[in-house]
Structure 1
């Protein structure tokens, strides 16, 4: 079942961050991943406007996400991200029990 990675980052050094983004597409592809969105405009429908960068990735399954994250080349690329931004990265695995006919009590 597909797994999704949602990354929300605040970038404080664009030049260094670009060293990260230059390296990631091939590594994502290596594990069957694809970018669903990569830094496009985020429209806030409700709440405080979101103005930072958001990336959403889709992978074939959770194991592919774990392998991608542990890849030595990705580990090296992450050093540029760590040096240039702060981030929240979330993993969501599709297939929860409450998706087809959601229980209104949950």
Structure 2
């Protein structure tokens, strides 16, 4: 079943984040991951929003997401994301 990773982040070190972002997409492809949305001006509909950027990823299943997240290619670049941003990532199950 498809799973979605939703990241809500605030960027504190733009050059380091851009270095991460430039290498990000190729890490998804071997795991069937897809970037569905990335918005630096998300519009809150209800409640307040404390992040600067929202990212939505899709993976074929949780095993694919976990394999991508633990992959050496992603771990190598994730160091930059972790150093350049604060926020959180949640994994949600798709329907059907």
Q: Same fold (TM over 0.5)?
A: yes
Counterparts of 1:4 and 1:92 in 2: how far apart (Å)?
5
Counterparts of 1:80 and 1:40 in 2: how far apart (Å)?
18
TM-score by length of 1: 0.83
Which is helix-richer, 1 or 2?
Answer: 2
When the two chains are superposed, the root-mean-square deviation of aligned CA atoms in Å is 1.5
Q: Establish whether residue 68 from structure 1 lines up as the match of residue 31 from structure 2.
A: no
Report the CA distance between 1:30 and its aligned residue: 1.6
Structure 1 contact 44–50 (Cα < 8 Å) conserved = no
Gaps of 5+ in 2: none
Structure 2 contact 51–87 (Cα < 8 Å) conserved = no
Gaps of 5+ in 1: 97-106
1:23 aligned counterpart, secondary structure: helix
Report the CA distance between 1:87 and its aligned residue: 2.1
1:24 aligned counterpart, secondary structure: helix
TM-score by length of 2: 0.91
Aligned length in residues: 96
- Which residues of 2 match residues 1-16 of structure 1 at below 5 A? 1-16=1-16
